[in-house]
Every structure is written in C-alpha cells, then in structure tokens.
A and B are shown apart, each in its own frame.
Chain A
Amino acid sequence: MTSNLLVQLLLNGLIVGTLYGVVAMCFVLIYKSTQVVNFAQGEFLLIGAWTCWWLVVDAGLPFWLSFPLTFAFMMAFGVALQMVVLRPLIGEPIISVIMVTIGLSIFFQAVTKWIFGADVQPFPDIFPVKSVDVFGLQVQSAYLMSLGVSVLIMAGFAWFFKYSRMGLAMRATAFNQQVAQSLGISVKSVFAMAWAISAMVSALAGVVVGMVNGVSGALSFFGIKVFPAVIVGGLDSVVGAILGGLIIGVLENMAEYADGQWLQLGNLYTVAPFYVLIIILMIKPYGLFGTKNIERV
C-alpha cells in the first residue's frame, strides 16, 4: 500500500518537476545570456496565466486563440521589460540588478492583485477529458499537455542553441559579450530575445498551472521554487536546470512522504527544497552542471 503511495508521489513529483524544469530553464536562459538574476520569474507565470484567463473568460475568446495571443503578449512584454528596466542597468553592480528584479516582482504581484483581485479564479474546462490514469495516478490532461509541450520546448531549445543563427549569437554573447559585439552580434537584440523567450515559456507554465489549480497570486511561488532547482542544476546550465527542476519536484513529494510516514512535522513539503539548496551550496556551489568560476588576480 505504502509503496503504491510512494510510486504515485514519485510520479506526481516528476510531473510537477517538469514544470519546475521549464521555469528553471527560462531562468537560466536569462542568466546565461544577460547575466541578470531574474527574481521576477514567478511573475512571468502569473502574468501569463492572468492574461490567458482574462482572454478566455472576460474577452470570451476561444482557447486555441487565447493561447497564442498570450504568447504574443508575453513576447512583447518581455522585450518591453528588458528595454525599459534592464537596459539602463547594464554595467551596474550585481546587487542593483538583483534589486531591480526583486522590485519588479513586488510591483507585478501587487498590480495583478489589484487588477484581478485576490481570489482564486478557476480556469474554465478546456479539455474534454479531465484526467488520465497513469500507473494508478490520475494525471490531469493539462499536465499531460504541459509534459508534451515541455518536451517540445526543450527539444526546440536544444535545436535553437545548436543550429540557429540567433541561438549561436546568444551562446556567443553568453560566453563573452565584448568579443561577440566585436564580431557584429547585436547584443541588444540578443538580450531582448532572451527575455522574450523566457517570458513566453514561463507564460506557458503559468497557463498550465492555472488550468490545474486556478489562477491566483500563489503562482509567484513558482519563481521562488526555481532557485533550489537552478542551484542544484547549476546556474548557467540549461540541462542542469531541467534536471534540477525534476529533482526538486521529486524531492518535495518524497519529503511529503517522509513527513507523512515518520516525521510528522507537517511542513517538510514547503521547506525541504530550501534546506537542500543550502546543503548543495555548501558542498557543490556550482551545482551539478554549472561551470566553475576560476578567479584570476
């Protein structure tokens, strides 16, 4: 009986972990390309979810139209954000950049609550089949869709970075900004593109979570969960981010299992990822796949 619970929790962790992985991937994308730590990642999910919800519920558009419209909006939003807020801060010390993204996170949280209210808004049912049985665990169709789309996105990312011109330009900029600029790569457009892609993909994750749990301010918490995931995987590794997300997803559910069976603490589900984050920082500060930062005098 308990092993069945374990399997189900594991499965649940993998599914939720894929979403964490997607969001972590977006975070790493921004960090790798622009050296900016985006504390407002969770708010991209939030804004994406609310936009899609508003398009479907208030504007009455069908879902197959709202979904791409949300993407278009998030792309414009990401670019605008980068141009207005982040560009003036190029070259500023890291604390300023961190604080700006933190400020953005607070601002967006408050504004979305103002516009849409503090209540949880349920997403109207999109799929005819609500959930599917996988190994005894009922998986919602929305999660299956997200799994499919996440795999597509990861494959797309891999292809993009390896074979497309823009992807190569991004990798070059991430490696050495000055050399990339001297080679004629427009660093400005690379930055804008990085933010746009990150915003779009985060919006996807946001819409999926919104479909399952309802849209509310709690989506911002995904942005906080992303930190343990990228620390475990390595701040500048896309593969590491995905793995980190999966690990954190599974870890949470394992912590819940341990909590339920033996420890009875009640809160391990929420706080375990942070303990792991600190431990990893102590033992392997650059994560599983991050590049070691060798300091030269």
Chain B
Amino acid sequence: MKKTLLASAAIALASTAAFAADGIPVGHLADLTGATASVSKPYSQGVADALKYLNAQGGTGGKAIAFETVDYAYEVPRAMAHYKKLLDQKVVAIQGWGTGDTEALVSFVAKDQIPYFSASYSGHLTDPNGKTSAKAAPYNFFYGPSYSDGCRALVEWAADDWKKKGGHGKAKFVHMGDNHPYPNAPKDACGAYAKEKGLEILNPIQYSLKPGDFKAQCLSLKESGANYAYLANTSGSTISLLKSCETVGVKTQYMGNIWGMDEASLKASGEAANGMVWVVAAATWADDNAGMKLVREISKISDPSGAEARPVHYMRGVCSAFYMKEAMDIAATLPGGVTGPNIKKAMYQKKAWVPAGLDGVCLPSGWKEDDHRGTTQVMVYQAAVKGADISMKKVFTADIPRRTEWLGW
C-alpha cells in the first residue's frame, strides 16, 4: 500500500516536471482514435516530425517551437475544451485538423487572433472577410486546394473523360458522403460546376464515415446508373464502400476527395479501387527530387530505419508545418515579434511560395489579404491495382480559375 502511494506520488511529481517547456507555444490537434484517424495519423505525424526537425535546425528565430500533439478523437466538444487550454498557454498559432473543429473555432480564432492552419480544406475557409460566405474566416489558412476546387478539378477530368470515352448525352454525376460538414462542404459548389460542365446531377447518396456494410447504398448507386461518383468521405469508409460496390457489381468511375484514398487504402481495397481517381496536392513517396530527399530526412525522426513509405497525407502535413514556421520567421522581423496578427501578415508576404528545401514537394502557394486560396492547382492521380501490383500515376492537372464568386464557396 505504502509502495503504491510512493510510486504514484513520484509519477505525479515527474509529470509536473515534464511540462517545463520554453519556446514559442503552438497548438497541435489531431484525430488519432476517432472517425478520421486513418488519414489523420500520417498527416499529424508529418506535422509533428516537421516541427521536431525544424526545432533541431534551430527553430524559429533561435527559439524552439513548443507543441504537444493532442488527440481529440474528432469530437468537436473536446477540441473546444482543448482550445481553451491552448488560450491559457498563449499559443501564437494552431495546427488543426478536421472540418468539425475548424468550423467551430473559426469565430474564436478570429476573436483571439490566432492563425489556424487546418487540414480541413473547406471552401468557405478561403473567404477571410466574409465577402461571399456567411462567416468571415480571417485567421484560417490551409495548404492545398480547397475541397470545392478539388471536386471541380475532378468534374473537369470527368467531362474530359466522358468525351474521350465517347459517351452519349449527359454524364451522370452523384455525390456520396455522410451527413457531416466535411463531406457536405463541396456538395453545392461542385454540383453547380458539374451542371455548368454539362453533367447531370443525381440525388446524393449517403454513406457513413464509419466503415461498415454498404451493399444497400451500392445497390442504390447501381440503380441510379451514375457514371461518375464523387466519394466525399475519408479513406476508412471509402474502402468499405468500394468493396461492397465491387461485390454488387457497380460499374461507376469513382472519384475521391483528397482524403479519400492513399497508398495504404489502395492495399486494403484491393482491386475494388482499380481505376479510381482522386485529388493529390503534394509529391508522393515514390517521387524523387530535392524536396523529397528532405522529406525522407524528416521521416527518419519518427522512423529511424527510413523503411516506412509515407502516404500522400504525410507530405501535406510537412508542408503545412513548414509554411507556418516560415511565416513565424517573417513575423519575428515585424514589430511585436511572433504574435498571431503578425503571423497572419507574414502569410501574405510571398507569392508562388515554396518552403525552403521542399522544392518539388509543395505546390507553389500564395495567400492574399482578401483571398485565402493558397493554390488553385489540383493534381488528379489514378490508381491501378492488379492483384498485388499497386501503382498510382498523375493523369490530370487542373488550374481552377480564380473566379471571385467562387471565393469562399
């Protein structure tokens, strides 16, 4: 009895000592155990590894970036509660994750003036001053094309593909996803653009973010006769959907959003994912260029053997962390030092911005005071799966026009 008391007292003491951090505090939210864990794990690993690597290189302005990866399991209330803790720690920026918490925190980070680098690429986060969307998002940034732009690129590819295949009449397009802010984000914008491109929009089909048996939904999909199905969920449930639909015998071209597919999911889906196209916004592990060499170095921080092949999301996490760090470098030169508003100002300083050392990995991006669309370039990759042979290659690059009415949509 006494021994356990002493042991627990020692642990309690040790834990309080562990919190002695000195440096610039930054928040890091991740979903390691919740509905989107399968894609959040590699992304947040990328962010964490990149920040640790940057700290090893001297941090920003000589100070380390003090962060702690906190798992909020995709439950918005937990993210909100943790945000209050971060306010106490006086963070100057936050590396966030999902649509749920990002949407919830938009007005709070605007009020508290903390730049929020999310992994949610929701269209209306691109409207800082609330010109076209209902909510202004002045302090939200993300690296990569928005979900709406990604979906528009897929629609362009679909229209192209339909012509190449010699399809008669209008191609049928259907949006599939859960009733949740993240899958819902591009629904309206993409549907409007699809109509513009001459596709016929069918009634959307719902399938849960949690993996399960989707044969009923696949039967509905088969019945609808859709030619192109946009899958708006993350890879976890998309794998189940592809497998269920393969069994049912659905003949549809699947198009996935940026979080809908990656190398690991291709392995899990098997031949069900053959021919699927999806959005990619950074280099892949198979690519070989100067930037990827640096990424392999960064990967060694959590994988010393260097054997692990990182999925596509890892690279985007690295890019997000690097952009934030370079903005902090610029902010350090501004009067007031590294503060939230200064980091926001710093984000507008560069055009066609690629972080130092990451050439060929991150798409050149530039943010403007009234336009938070970092990049409107979208790469579309297609998967080829034959037995155990898995490969993916770029089939299309879209340059989505920067229409003013598309800002925030």
Whether B326 sits at the interface, judged by CB under 8 Å, is: no
Whether B244 sits at the interface, judged by CB under 8 Å, is: yes
Contacts of B236 in A (CB 8 A): 119-120, 216
Q: B219 touching A5 by the CB < 8 A rule? A: yes
Q: How far is the CA of A12 from the CA of B32 in the complex (A)?
A: 34
Decide: A12 near B239, CB < 8 A? Known: A119-B37, A213-B211. no
Which segment, of A72-80, A181-189, A261-269, A279-287, faces chain B?
A: A261-269
Q: A218 touching B212 by the CB < 8 A rule? A: yes
Whether B113 sits at the interface, judged by CB under 8 Å, is: no
Decide: A213 near B220, CB < 8 A? Known: A16-B213, A264-B203, A266-B204. no
Chain B interfacial residues counted at CB < 8 A: 33
Q: B212 touching A266 by the CB < 8 A rule? A: no
Contacts of A103 in B (CB 8 A): none
Contacts of B205 in A (CB 8 A): 260, 266
Contacts of A119 in B (CB 8 A): 37-38, 236
Q: How far is the CA of A212 from the CA of B218 in the complex (A)?
A: 14
Contacts of B219 in A (CB 8 A): 5, 8-9, 12, 253, 256
CB < 8 Å: which of A138, A214, A221, A257 contacts B249?
Answer: A138
Whether B247 sits at the interface, judged by CB under 8 Å, is: yes
Q: How far is the CB of B242 from chain A (nearest CB, A)?
A: 11
The residue on B at minimum CB distance from A270 is: B208
Q: How far is the CA of A62 from the CA of B25 in the complex (A)?
A: 52
Q: A252 touching B268 by the CB < 8 A rule? A: no
CB < 8 Å: which of A1, A5, A140, A256 contacts B217?
Answer: A256
Q: A2 touching B223 by the CB < 8 A rule? A: yes
Q: B179 touching A212 by the CB < 8 A rule? A: no
The binding surface of chain A is classed by DSSP as helix
Contacts of B37 in A (CB 8 A): 118-119
Decide: A252 near B208, CB < 8 A? Known: A5-B223, A113-B33. no
1/0 per residue A129-162: CB within 8 Å of B?
Answer: 0110000011010000000000000000000000
Q: A260 touching B203 by the CB < 8 A rule? A: yes
Q: B211 touching A214 by the CB < 8 A rule? A: yes
Whether B248 sits at the interface, judged by CB under 8 Å, is: yes
Decide: A221 near B223, CB < 8 A? Known: A260-B205, A267-B206. no
Q: How far is the CB of B149 from chain A (nearest CB, A)?
A: 25
18 of the cross-chain contacts (CB-CB < 8 Å) are A1-B223, A5-B222, A118-B32, A118-B37, A119-B38, A119-B236, A120-B211, A212-B247, A214-B268, A216-B236, A217-B210, A256-B220, A257-B220, A260-B220, A260-B223, A264-B203, A267-B206, A269-B217
The 5 closest A-B pairs by CB, nearest first: A266-B206, A256-B216, A260-B220, A118-B37, A5-B223
